[in-house]
């Protein structure tokens, strides 16, 4: 029996996401799908392929590469593009790179601002994309809870939470003036657990970093940072230890805390999720710079 | 402070959870009725507040809280910084939680009086509304407002949450009185079920489990009720409907029609009708998310192929041959106005309905609804947060159902053509048959044939500008010059039209729109007779000038902006009108108390400060020669 007959709720989320993706394709002239390599991107890509079958994916994927992603992420990204035969575009803010911006020397906020937010704006301008799909969910963070499914951006990619268009039923206002763009969030109504349930139900490949394994980590400010390569300077007395860890969310490796875990199968991850007492973005160091910091980043154009 | 016990539930773990749809509900009530506190409490009672969120909440409560030493659950939900500072919820926020028995999506709609539009937005995506009432205050005007909006937006299940029952010493008589008052009021609304529950959300009474402090109440707790309630799904038992969202053409041999089933179900072999064309065919294959399927019901995203090749585009609707939707270009509908720019009957808006976007206008605003008592009020316009009943006219016929029959195929939005703002939510009541009874009289002599008798092209020259700018003076000179060259002309002027055809119209924004609409239609008829029509009207709004432009074929409308500074017009004041307007004797005077929107892309701009009227007339004639009008 197909799982959709047992899990009506997940099937409904799937159908809604497909409808949103099709709507954007039908309404915009040059959409692009932001592909961040994480589990949400994997699910979103899987849904997009379903939305247009038997046609091929009618738009490219865009990965904004800060050059500080885990090596396993990049390998997974390249393998995925090849396996699915999709058009993957990779963009790096070369100017930031030349200026030596990095999470290690510049700090989390400057690195995120230059290598993610600015890089994304540059990439969207360069590709003249009028719509960009993102895998963000409303349950991730407080300011995301009020985000629209079709979220309007100004010519400078800014987000104004006070002048958002009301979103009624599933009738989406997709009108844009010259130079403006739309961010489209097909997974708006999904929770973290829904994403894992769907990964399990559809056997969607995800980056191995989500599964527990012995990995070299150092403990900093209460976070477990994986030493993914020799670019991470060790502090005095710091020595990487092999620990059984996994990642609940994936970003730049020096900014992403691992969690201690034995969960090395999907079943075990789902079980662990149900017991969890902390939120998903707790491991994201960039969210905690200051209160309201996600909203600030979003106004500036961050996803 | 006790840590909440964590009990995340998974759909895959619990069959009871998985086989039901999530319940989408809306919370609404007046400011301070405790909506956010209630939702925060529900999450807390379910052990669904994460430890790191709880820590942040404790620190936020000390900084911004209004509950002293206790945790302020409202802060958990008031997401945006501005709201945290002002202490109000500005927008609709969505929350997701699950109990061991059911998944929930909560739309938190603001209670602030001017935010009707957000409540309507939240209600459009909800099956049930929890309406909060402060037991110590009783029913407020806003309680009625929220109940009426919920009813209009098609919500049929209501929980009347009588909150802060602790403030009235848990007294049954207070509860009973509020319930009786609400029930009497709601008898005129379209609710299927009203469930009253006494609550003290701040302390958790009757939220998760029954409270010992209300021994007289023997009904379910709020969460127990929400877990159990069954929503009759409107769409399930209906005939098949699928608005086509996207045409899938991977190669010349495959034509698939992608969309979401809005009602009913399909199976390969079923007969279908394509609307609005009315062509018939048969379903060949149905492709669901898991591949080919032999059945797809409401809510499923599918791609279907047909046995015959028919031309079908996005916005067409595939339907079952029995009980078809209506197809019309005019209908009556309820409108919730959402923009700070008022509704102008006659103005051309964009309508998005079932994946089609087309131009539409309100031909008649029948009445406004007083949302505190459902009274019908006479109205010429709708302001933000007002609800009215109107007739609308569309650029062409589209298929639809009444909103009462189907909340998907009976809903639409209106969009402003300049700002792209969503200005209204619409719910269709019924088609207007009038439209289908008027047939165009077939014409045997065509416009092209009439034009051949002339030595020039038909054309509208539209002079726009402030009163006193010199429009009529220049237009008269141009007409004289054209006449001398053998061009068949006529001149429509603000004053002569208003003394005849439009003498029933005044000068409010709405009447100005209708004035220009009629002039546009007359000018169009005259171009069909082959004439060059000179129109001299203040025509202060871009939208109406554009409406006239779009009535005519490309190139037959030339917008001429007679540009004069307001001070110069006031100084000139040929008819003494500015003096009277400035003295307050004339209302709605362009440039004084009504705006003039300058053209953005006029074909010709005449600078009256630098040139005489004769020079400006020559410039217009030169432009017509350049355009080979004659």
* Token pair in block for residue B29: 């009530």
**Phi and psi (nearest 5°) for A84?**
-95, -10
Task: Using alpha carbons, select from B530, B522, B573 the residue that is nearest to residue B548.
Answer: B522
The verdict on a CB contact (< 8 Å) between B81 and A295 is yes
Residues of A in contact with B120 (CB under 8 A): 166, 168
Q: What ipTM, to 2 d.p.?
A: 0.88
Which residue bears the tokens 């062509």? B279
Q: Is A10 on the interface with B (CB under 8 A)?
A: yes
3-state secondary structure of B168: helix
Q: Is B353 on the interface with A (CB under 8 A)?
A: yes
Task: Using alpha carbons, select from A93, A43, A85 the residue that is nearest to residue A63.
Answer: A93
Which residues on adjacent β-strands are paired with residue B29?
Answer: B132
What single-letter DSSP state applies at residue A114?
I
Dump pLDDT digits (tens) for B184-222: 999 989 899 999 999 998 888 898 888 889 999 999 999
Q: How confident is the model at residue B434, as a pLDDT? A: 57
Mean pLDDT, chain A, whole residue set:
87
Q: How confident is the model at residue B87, as a pLDDT? A: 45
**B530 contacts: CB under 8 Å, gap ≥ 6:** B447, B450, B451, B453, B454, B458, B488
Encode burial over A184-221: b for 16+ CB neighbours within 10 A, e otherwise: bbbbbbbbbbbbbbbbbbbebebbebbbbeebebbeee
Element (H, E) at A132: strand A131-133
**Phi and psi (nearest 5°) for B412?**
-150, 165
The verdict on a CB contact (< 8 Å) between A276 and B408 is no
Could you tell me the end-to-end alpha-carbon distance of chain B, in angstroms, rounded to an integer? Answer: 88
Q: How confident is the model at residue B560, as a pLDDT? A: 95
Which residue bears the tokens 């091929």? A56
Strands B23-29 and B128-134: parallel
Locate the chain A residue with the closest alpha carbon to B259.
Answer: A19
What's the rounded Cα separation, in Å, for the pair B171 and B368? Answer: 39
Per residue of chain A (303 residues), give pLDDT as tens: 688 888 888 999 999 999 999 999 999 999 999 999 999 999 999 999 999 989 999 999 999 999 989 999 999 999 999 999 999 999 999 999 899 888 888 888 888 889 999 999 999 999 999 999 999 998 877 667 777 899 999 888 888 766 678 899 999 999 998 889 999 999 999 988 899 999 999 999 999 999 999 999 998 888 888 988 888 888 888 889 999 999 998 988 888 889 999 999 999 998 888 776 555 655 555 554 444 556 666 666 665
The upper half-sphere exposure of residue B372, i.e. CA atoms within 13 Å in the direction of its Cβ, equals 5
Tell me the DSSP string of B449-508: HHHHHSSS--EEEEEE--TTSSHHHHHHHHHHHHHHTT--EEEEEHHHHHHTTTTT--SS
What's the rounded Cα separation, in Å, for the pair A161 and A151? Answer: 10
Q: How confident is the model at residue B439, as a pLDDT? A: 41
B539 catalytic, yes or no? Answer: yes
Q: How confident is the model at residue B371, as a pLDDT? A: 83
List the catalytic residue out of B9, B124, B361, B539: B539
What's the rounded Cα separation, in Å, for the pair B345 and A236? Answer: 74
What's the rounded Cα separation, in Å, for the pair B143 and B29? Answer: 6
Residues 205-244 of A with CB under 8 A from B: none
Dump pLDDT digits (tens) for B47-90: 666 666 667 667 766 666 555 556 676 666 655 444 545 444 45
Q: To 10 degrees, the CA torsion angle through A257, A262, A263, A268?
A: -140
C-beta separation of B150 from B185 below 8 A: no
Q: How confident is the model at residue B19, as a pLDDT? A: 67
Encode burial over B181-211: b for 16+ CB neighbours within 10 A, e otherwise: ebeebbeebebeebbbbbbbbbebbbbbeeb
Q: How confident is the model at residue A7, as a pLDDT? A: 85
What's the rounded Cα separation, in Å, for the pair B142 and B148? Answer: 10
> Which regions in chain B score pLDDT beneath 50?
1-15, 80-82, 84, 86-89, 235-236, 436-442
Helices and strands of chain B, counted as H and E runs: 18, 28
What's the rounded Cα separation, in Å, for the pair B624 and B630? Answer: 8
**Phi and psi (nearest 5°) for B492?**
-105, 130
Residues 54-93 of B with CB under 8 A from A: 56, 60, 76-77, 79-82, 84, 90-93
């Amino acid at each position: 029996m197909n799982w959709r007959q047992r899990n009506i709720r997940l099937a409904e989320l799937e159908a809604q996401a497909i409808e949103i993706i099709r709507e954007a394709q039908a309404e915009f002239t040059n959409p692009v799908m932001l592909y961040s390599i994480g589990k949400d991107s994997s699910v979103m890509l899987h849904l997009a392929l379903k939305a247009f079958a038997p046609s091929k994916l009618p738009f490219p994927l865009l990965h904004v590469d800060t050059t500080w992603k885990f090596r396993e992420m990049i390998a997974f990204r390249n393998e995925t593009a090849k396996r699915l035969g999709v058009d993957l575009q990779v963009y790096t803010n070369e100017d930031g790179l030349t200026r030596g911006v990095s999470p290690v020397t510049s700090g989390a906020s400057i690195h995120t601002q230059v290598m993610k937010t600015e890089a994304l704006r540059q990439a969207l301008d360069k590709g003249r994309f009028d719509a960009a799909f993102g895998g963000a969910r409303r349950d991730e963070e407080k300011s995301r809870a009020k985000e629209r499914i079709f979220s309007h951006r100004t010519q400078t990619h800014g987000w104004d939470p006070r002048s958002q268009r009301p979103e009624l039923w599933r009738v989406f206002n997709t009108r844009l003036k010259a130079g403006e763009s739309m961010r489209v969030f097909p997974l708006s109504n999904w929770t973290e657990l829904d994403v894992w349930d769907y990964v399990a139900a559809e056997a969607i490949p995800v980056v191995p970093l989500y599964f527990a394994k012995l990995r070299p980590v150092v403990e900093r400010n209460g976070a477990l940072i994986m030493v993914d390569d020799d670019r991470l300077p060790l502090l005095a007395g710091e020595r990487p230890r092999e620990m059984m860890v996994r990642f609940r969310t994936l970003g730049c490796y020096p900014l992403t805390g691992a969690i201690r875990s034995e969960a090395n199968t999907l079943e075990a991850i789902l079980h662990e999720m149900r017991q969890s007492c902390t939120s998903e973005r707790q491991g994201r160091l960039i969210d905690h710079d200051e209160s309201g910091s996600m909203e600030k980043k979003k106004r500036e154009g961050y996803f | 402070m006790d840590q909440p016990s964590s009990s995340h539930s998974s759909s895959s773990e619990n069959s009871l959870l998985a086989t039901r749809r999530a319940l989408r509900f809306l919370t609404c009530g007046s400011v301070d009725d405790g909506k956010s506190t209630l939702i925060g409490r529900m999450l807390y009672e379910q052990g669904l507040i994460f430890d790191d969120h709880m820590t942040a909440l404790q620190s936020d409560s000390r900084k911004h809280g209004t509950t002293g030493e206790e945790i302020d659950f409202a802060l958990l939900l008031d997401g945006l910084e501005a709201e945290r500072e002002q202490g109000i919820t500005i927008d609709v926020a969505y929350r997701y939680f699950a109990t061991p028995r059911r998944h929930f999506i909560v739309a938190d709609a603001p209670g602030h009086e001017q935010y009707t539009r957000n409540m309507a937005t939240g209600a459009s995506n909800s099956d049930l509304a929890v309406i909060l009432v402060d037991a110590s205050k009783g029913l407020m005007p806003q309680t009625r407002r929220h109940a009426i909006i919920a009813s209009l937006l098609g919500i049929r299940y209501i929980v009347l949450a009588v909150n802060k029952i602790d403030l009235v010493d848990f007294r049954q008589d207070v509860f009973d009185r509020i319930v009786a008052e609400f029930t009497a009021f709601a008898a005129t609304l379209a609710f299927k079920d009203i469930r009253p529950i006494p609550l003290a959300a701040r302390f958790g009474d009757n939220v998760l489990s029954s409270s010992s402090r209300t021994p007289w109440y023997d009904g379910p707790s709020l969460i127990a009720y929400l877990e159990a309630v069954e929503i009759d799904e409107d769409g399930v038992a209906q005939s098949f409907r699928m608005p086509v969202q996207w045409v899938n053409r991977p190669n010349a041999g495959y034509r698939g029609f992608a969309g979401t089933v809005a009602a009913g179900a399909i199976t390969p072999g079923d007969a279908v009708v394509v609307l609005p064309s009315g062509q018939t065919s048969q379903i060949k294959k149905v492709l669901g998310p898991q591949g080919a399927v032999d059945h797809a019901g409401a809510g499923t995203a599918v791609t279907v192929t047909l046995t015959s090749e028919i031309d079908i585009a996005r916005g067409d609707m595939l339907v079952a041959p029995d009980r078809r939707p209506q197809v019309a270009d005019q209908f009556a509908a309820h409108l919730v106005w959402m923009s700070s720019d008022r509704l102008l009957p006659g103005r051309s808006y964009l309508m998005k309905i079932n994946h089609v976007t087309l131009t539409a206008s309100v031909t008649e605003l029948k009445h406004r609804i007083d949302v505190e008592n459902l009274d019908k009020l006479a109205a010429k316009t709708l302001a933000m947060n007002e609800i009215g009943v109107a007739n609308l006219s569309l650029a062409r016929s589209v298929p639809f159902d009444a909103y009462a029959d189907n909340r998907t195929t009976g809903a639409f939005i209106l969009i402003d053509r300049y700002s792209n703002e969503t200005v209204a939510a619409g719910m269709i009541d019924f088609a207007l048959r009038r439209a289908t009874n008027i047939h165009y009289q077939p014409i045997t002599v065509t416009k092209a044939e009439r034009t051949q008798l002339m030595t020039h092209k038909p054309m509208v020259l539209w002079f726009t500008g402030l009163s006193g700018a010199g429009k009529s003076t220049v237009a008269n000179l141009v007409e004289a010059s054209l006449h001398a060259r053998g061009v068949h002309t006529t001149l429509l002027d603000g004053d002569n039209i208003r003394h005849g055809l439009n003498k029933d119209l005044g000068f409010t924004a709405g009447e100005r729109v209708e004035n220009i609409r009629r002039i546009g239609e007359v000018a169009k008829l005259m171009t069909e007779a082959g004439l060059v029509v000179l129109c001299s009207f203040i025509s202060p709004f871009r939208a109406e000038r554009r409406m006239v432009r779009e009535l005519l074929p490309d190139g037959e409308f030339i917008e001429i902006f007679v540009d004069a500074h307001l001070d110069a017009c006031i100084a000139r004041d040929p008819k003494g009108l500015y003096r009277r307007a400035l003295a307050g004797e004339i209302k709605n005077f362009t440039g004084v108390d009504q705006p003039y929107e300058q053209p953005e892309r006029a074909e010709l701009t005449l600078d009256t400060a630098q040139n005489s009227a004769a020079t400006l007339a020559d410039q217009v004639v030169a432009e017509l020669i350049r355009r080979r009008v004659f």
